Amino acid sequence: MTTTAPQPATTVPEQPATTVPEQPATTAEQPAATAPARTAALARARARAAGAEGLPAFDRLLELTEGERAVAVRNVPATLPCFTAHFPRHPVLPGVLLLESLAALARTAAGPGAWRLAGVRGARFKHFVGPGDQVHLTVEVSEHTRQRTECRATARVEGRVVATVRALTLVSATTTREGTA
């Protein structure tokens, strides 16, 4: 009968503790103490990103400073139904869909609350946006109150400006419309 001597327990060298990196800050000067507020703001932004038909108006939020500025990216896939009729030989993203993306980003930049689009002034479409393009959307808040927000907006593809809006006006959804009680 053979017996084996008990083997000494092997020790595994302790590994340094790994930390999960925080989500990127919305602005460089925000302290880490505002992480829950930042997370809540991003969650609200994702909820407001849906356009009129429930499709996302933008794909990824790159920067958000509520009440001041927001930057996002919208990818334009070739599978969008609008490309079959607009236009069959030269597909172009309709300008109204680009405006809807800018309005959704403006609602995100406006901050908490329900906002609706009240007006668009000075919209200029400078170049076509087609399938496969990645549109960088930028919205800067120029005026902000509890009931009304006005923004300037720009859309770029590969650094080239494809659309600008001088004024996107949002009003609080609780504000009554003219002619209604």
**Residues involved in catalysis:** 86
Query: How do beta strands 134-144 and 69-75 pair?
Result: antiparallel
What is the bridge-based pairing of β-strands 69-75 and 115-125?
unpaired
Do 77 and 65 contact (CB within 8 A), yes or no?
Answer: no
Task: Please answer whether residues 100 and 48 qualify as being in contact, where contact means their C-beta atoms are separated by less than 8 angstroms.
Answer: no
Euclidean distance between CA atoms 53 and 67, whole angstroms: 26
What the block records as the tokens of 103 is 């309005």
How many Å apart are CA 38 and CA 27, to the nearest integer? 10
Q: Residue with structure tokens 């087609």?
A: 130
